[in-house]
Amino acid sequence: MTSCQFKYYRHFNILRTSTNRLYYVFAAYIDEDPGDTDKAIADLKYVTNYNGFLEVFDYHDIDGDGKENKDDAYPYDPLAQ
């Protein structure tokens, strides 16, 4: 007898990249009858998905005004961009 009743899988598809962003689709699947080996995604039950992006930023210039935080009088100025 196994203690694992369900096995969850995550599938990460990269849609597009730009200079500072990575766009993706994240899909989730469930195996309701798990065994000792992994199954193909086609054999799993689809649960959900969501879209998103990861953004890269320069942590030396948080507000993006071109001035480093250590020299910036207002490093968190929302109007700087």
- 77 pLDDT higher than 90: no
- The more confident residue out of 27 and 69 is 27
Among 2-6, 30-34, 43-47, name the most confident range. 43-47
Cβ contact 15:25 at 8 Å: yes
User: For residue 13, which amino acid is it?
Assistant: N
User: For residue 70, which amino acid is it?
Assistant: K
> The pTM is what?
0.59
- C-beta neighbour count of 25 within 10 angstroms: 13
Round the average pLDDT of the chain to a whole number and report it.
86
Residue 37 has what pLDDT? Answer: 84
- 1 pLDDT higher than 50: no
